[in-house]
Amino acid sequence: MSIFKKKNSGYISAKESSKISRENRRTTDQMEKRLNRKNVDPSEYTTKMRDENNVVEFDNLHTYFFTDIGTVKAVDGVSFDIPKGKTVGVVGESGCGKSVTSLSLMQLVQRPQGQIVEGEIRFNGENQVYDIAKTPIQTMQSIRGNQISMIFQEPMTSLNPVFRIGNQVDEVSEYHHPEMSKEEVKKRTIEMLELVGIANPEGVYNMYPHELSGGMRQRVMIAIALTLSPKLIIADEPTTALDVTIQAQILDLLRNLKDHINSSILLITHDLGVIAEMADYVVVMYSGRVVEKGTVHEVFKNPSHPYTIGLLNSKPMVNKQVERLYSIPGRVPNPIDMPNYCYFRDRCEMCLKKCNGEYPPEYHLSDSHIVSCYRYENKEVKTDE
């Protein structure tokens, strides 16, 4: 028996693969050239917000990876808003595109294979509104860290092990505010370390990352993210690598700081408990698309998409005794070969006949509660839009 199974659905010959690579290179070279241009007229990448009360508006965002085995549609038509001063939680299974959505907003998707191919990301910046999808790399460098900053999952890999903590926090002010004196920079760093609850800021200033606990390192990362008082903080699984009591402390810290500095937070997590505690709005993603969004109250009180219902049922509750935790049957579809019907259909236990047709449109259950599922076709309410 041959070990090579030609007709295997995932099989790609070397010839096919090199043809795909060539085509990919052609596509990504063009996109890279556009992004790398210098002295681009701002009219090409500045725009207007749909609603001035938002700090970010994702509008039909498509971010793809052009790989040698095909195009991965990691984010495939995502739209949601982040209102000023609010926390928006994005939740969904591993691989559903949460991180790629947030990396797109920072223009940190792995290039050249990862590219925003369609849609807008409007960011309500200091003096103008940027469409991040079209903003040249040079301009983006001044927005990153300064107006939008990011807290990553693993603080040990984000801090440089060979530099003292103080130097790493100083660096942020030094880079963005070269006019500040050495003393001013150090004063600001100590203030920030104090703000994030480090008891001995002067001592920690001179320490190396390995001398701190995981929780303290994450506090330092938060200090770095807040140093420039950004308009938006992206926190991608900020507590996953920490143990439970430290998790609670860090979440408390983030919540208190948000009011203190009046920023918005984009909080990415697979933990619904964290969302319920921290967020004002929830966005539920599945296979690169938003399947349900609304206020925390709406989505937790009245979960509507079968996937959201499944997620909530598979979450353990302290005050509810169940024999077995529910698990959503089946697997997420292959992101290279997406079906043209509802992506959740093969796992859905509430299918209708209509579900064999096209991908369901968005139905409004209220002004803010929106769901993409045929079960709500006749239950829509009239909205102003």
Ligand X SMILES: Nc1ncnc2c1ncn2[C@@H]1O[C@H](COP(=O)(O)OP(=O)(O)OP(=O)(O)O)[C@@H](O)[C@H]1O
Could you tell me the smallest distance in angstroms from the CB atom of residue 99 to Mg ion?
Answer: 3
Part of the chain binding ligand SF4 (CB under 6 A), chosen from 90-98, 163-171, 216-224, 370-378: 370-378
Nearer to ligand SF4 among residue 224 and residue 355 (C-beta)? 355
Cα separation of 29 and 113, whole Å? 10
Nearer to ligand SF4 among residue 317 and residue 350 (C-beta)? 350
Q: Does 373 bind ligand SF4 (CB under 6 A)?
A: yes
Helices (H), the chain: 14-36, 98-106, 137-143, 155-158, 165-176, 182-195, 201-205, 214-226, 244-261, 272-278, 296-301, 306-313
Part of the chain binding Mg ion (CB under 5 A), chosen from 9-17, 97-105, 297-305, 359-367: 97-105
Could you tell me the smallest distance in angstroms from the CB atom of residue 333 to Mg ion?
Answer: 18
Placement of tokens 């965002």 in the chain = 61
> Do β-strands 264-269 and 232-236 pair in parallel, antiparallel, or remain unpaired?
parallel
Residues 206-265 that bind Mg ion (CB under 5 A): none
> Which listed option, ligand X, ligand SF4, Mg ion, none, makes contact with residue 344 (CB within 5 to 8 Å by class)?
ligand SF4
The pair of structure tokens assigned to 257 is 């700081």
Q: Does 348 bind ligand SF4 (CB under 6 A)?
A: yes
Q: How many CA atoms lie within 13 A of 142 on its CB side?
A: 10
Say which residues have a Cβ less than 8 Å from residue 7's Cβ, sequence separation at least 6.
Answer: none
The pair of structure tokens assigned to 87 is 């926390």
Could you tell me the smallest distance in angstroms from the CB atom of residue 102 to Mg ion?
Answer: 8
Part of the chain binding ligand X (CB under 6 A), chosen from 64-72, 135-143, 188-196, 356-364: 64-72
Say which residues have a Cβ less than 8 Å from residue 298's Cβ, sequence separation at least 6.
Answer: 365, 366, 368, 369
Nearer to ligand SF4 among residue 18 and residue 356 (C-beta)? 356
Q: Does 149 bind Mg ion (CB under 5 A)?
A: no
Nearer to ligand SF4 among residue 86 and residue 375 (C-beta)? 375
Among 87, 99, 104, 146, binds Mg ion (CB under 5 A): 99
Q: Does 287 bind Mg ion (CB under 5 A)?
A: no
Nearer to ligand X among residue 103 and residue 257 (C-beta)? 103
Q: Does 110 bind ligand X (CB under 6 A)?
A: yes
> Do β-strands 70-83 and 54-67 pair in parallel, antiparallel, or remain unpaired?
antiparallel
Please choose, from the candidates 348, 371, 385, the residue with its C-alpha nearest in 3D space to the C-alpha of residue 298.
371
Q: Does 70 bind ligand X (CB under 6 A)?
A: no
**Residues 215, 218, 223, 228: what is their CA dihedral angle, to the nearest 10 degrees?**
-160
Task: Summarize as ranges the residues that interact with Mg ion (CB under 5 A).
Answer: 99
Residues forming contacts to ligand SF4 in the complex (CB under 6 A) are 305-306, 342, 344-345, 348, 350-352, 355, 360, 373-375
